[in-house]
């Protein structure tokens, strides 16, 4: 096996910032994780060791292969659900960043069949047409701890995600993907915002007008072009 260059300090710092931003913005708490594909070695991704995202430092970042293996010298505990990341990177060559969280406003949309999470405002056109729901019982049977703790479950989750930007995980949380770290963080934050707004709208009435396909595509293109603006604010706010 050829030894590749280690990831750049810049990428590590971006990933540390992403961890802190997601914590400060209420997407992750003591749990949840964010990864970025190592573009110098696309068969690997960077993810913190098992710890609270808000406390991650550059020295906590570990490189994993797509099977979820750390280098042999790495002895620190890994996130049990690292298979979410590896199997999505394997299934989706277009994806370069993955956020898994239990962000609270999103969870209810994963447990009902009559209110799919759909784009309710121009910041969340990426949700179009609606976020699919992963039912872990289909892959793990009726007795599981709900976690994506194996490669097989990671494969099943990636299959539910399909070509979407977000997959809801029934009774657990959600996983959001992006072509870049900043886009994935943006989408994770606005998935939570969209869920709050949609729940508010549902309280007012059930006849909601969501963004259509064209509005979703155009609003997403607009937002993708300015993703650095909120990133700078969120980074400073995260300290
Ligand atoms: Zn989880």
Q: How far is the CA of 222 from the centre of ligand 1 (A)?
A: 31
Q: How far is the CA of 81 from the centre of ligand 1 (A)?
A: 7
Beta bridge partners of 38: none
Q: How far is the CA of 150 from the centre of ligand 1 (A)?
A: 13
Q: How far is the CA of 35 from the centre of ligand 1 (A)?
A: 14
pLDDT at position 61, please? 98
Q: How far is the CA of 205 from the centre of ligand 1 (A)?
A: 31
Q: How far is the CA of 4 from the centre of ligand 1 (A)?
A: 30
pLDDT at position 239, please? 84
pLDDT at position 93, please? 98
Q: For all residues of the chain together, what is the average pLDDT?
A: 96
Backbone angles phi, psi at 178, to 5 degrees: -150, 165
Contact 172, 84 (CB under 8 A): no
Q: At what angle do helices 83-91 and 151-161 cross, to 10 degrees?
A: 50
Tell me whether residue 81 is one of the annotated catalytic residues.
yes
Q: For residue 17, how far is the Cα from the chain centroid?
A: 15
Q: How far is the CA of 173 from the centre of ligand 1 (A)?
A: 6
Please list the ranges in the chain whose pLDDT falls under 70.
Answer: 1-4
Query: Considering 14, 81, 87, 192, which one is annotated as catalytic?
Result: 81
Residues in the chain: 239
pLDDT at position 220, please? 97
pTM summary value: 0.96
The 8 Å CB, 24+ separation contacts for 213-219 are: 213/128, 213/129, 215/119, 215/122, 215/125, 216/119, 216/125, 216/126, 216/127, 216/128, 216/129, 217/125, 217/128, 218/125, 219/119, 219/122, 219/123, 219/125
pLDDT at position 4, please? 67
Q: How far is the CA of 2 from the centre of ligand 1 (A)?
A: 33
């Amino acid at each position: 096996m050829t030894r590749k260059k280690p990831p750049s300090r810049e990428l590590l710092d971006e990933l540390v910032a992403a961890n802190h931003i997601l914590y400060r913005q209420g997407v992750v708490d003591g749990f949840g994780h964010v990864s970025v594909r190592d573009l110098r070695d696309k068969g690997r991704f960077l993810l913190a060791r098992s710890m609270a995202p808000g406390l991650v430092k550059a020295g906590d970042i570990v490189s994993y292969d797509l099977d979820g293996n750390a280098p042999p010298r790495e002895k620190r505990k890994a996130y049990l659900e690292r298979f979410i990341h590896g199997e999505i990177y394997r299934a989706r060559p277009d994806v370069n960043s993955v956020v898994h969280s239990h962000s609270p406003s999103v969870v209810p949309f994963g447990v009902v069949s009559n209110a799919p999470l759909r784009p309710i405002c121009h910041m969340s056109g990426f949700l179009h047409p609606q976020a699919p729901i992963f039912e872990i019982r289909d892959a793990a049977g009726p007795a599981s701890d709900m976690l994506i703790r194996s490669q097989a479950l990671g494969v099943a989750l990636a299959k539910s995600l399909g070509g979407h930007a977000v997959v809801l995980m029934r009774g657990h949380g959600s996983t959001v993907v992006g072509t870049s770290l900043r886009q994935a963080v943006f989408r994770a934050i606005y998935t939570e915002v969209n869920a709050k707004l949609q729940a508010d709208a549902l309280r007012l009435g059930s006849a909601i007008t969501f963004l259509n396909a064209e509005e979703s595509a155009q609003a997403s293109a607009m937002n993708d072009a300015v993703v650095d603006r909120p990133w700078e604010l969120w980074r400073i706010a995260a300290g």
